[in-house]
Amino acid sequence: QEIAPARDAIFLGRGINYPLALEAALKLKEISYIHADGYAAGELKHGPIALIDQDMPVIVFDNLGPLQEKTVSNAAEVAARGAKLWHIGSKATDGIMTPDCAALATPFAYAVVAQLLAYHVALAKGTDVDQPRNLAKSVTVE
């Protein structure tokens, strides 16, 4: 509900969760028509941080293991700028909590959450999730 009115959104992932940030942004774009971008959390200070304000939802895929502290630090920088911040992970206290899993399995656990997030945002906006506009089931490239 809180993400639905947004015009833009940012997904942050680090390490193995960076491709997930890209995929989550794509899913949100495709079915809710919100401009969303995925970024490597370590690149936050190289551009994306300039876009962050109190109207920007930022979804952070939490890391487990050695990258966890760096991801938490990136999230703190986002929060300091007043963004609407959600964490997705097994330690999430201000977002969506997932079951505990091995660090290498987090993209699989978080992918389902990202898909459901996009789905529920699209429903809240009233978009047709079964037939998104301008999308084809398959594309032929010549």
Which positions are catalytic?
Answer: 137
Instruction: Give the Cα separation of 18 and 42 in Å (integer).
Output: 10
Decide: 27 and 118 in contact? Cβ < 8 Å.
Answer: yes
Q: For Cα atoms 73, 79, 80, give the angle at the middle one, nearest 5 degrees.
A: 90
